Structure 1
């Protein structure tokens, strides 16, 4: 597979910029809601710790 030409790279960049501008309002509203949301780190850390422990368990079982 050959690398994209310069025109394709420019078009991909333009499309990426347009998508960012298109979603800008939604991103702004989401950031504002996240600032005003209560901070519940326990609700996020407990499942993440469970996943990490499960992955460690799987790695130990393979060895």
Structure 2
């Protein structure tokens, strides 16, 4: 193990294997969610309005510094 290395090689391999297993386990639900999302009507205003408010708030905070 290298000095300052937070994870050993075995831990990295186990974490990678668990990540791949999780992706395979969630795959059917993700496919169904994507299919439902393609059929749903798009409503961009519900995304743009909160995003714009957050951007304006961040600009306000930066201006206050």
TM-score range, shorter chain: 0.7 to 0.9
CA distance in 2, matches of 1:50, 1:6: 44
Give 1 or 2: higher helix fraction: 1
Q: Name stretches of at least 5 consecutive residues in structure 1 with no aligned partner.
A: none
Give aligned pairs, total. Answer: 62
| Unaligned runs of at least 5 residues, structure 2 | none
> TM-score of the superposition, structure 1-length normalised?
0.87
Normalised to the residue count of structure 2, the TM-score between the two structures is 0.85
Aligned-CA RMSD value: 1.2
Structure 1 CA distance, aligned partners of 2:28 and 2:43?
25
Task: Give the ranges of 4+ consecutive aligned residues of structure 1 lying more than 2 Å apart after TM superposition.
Answer: none
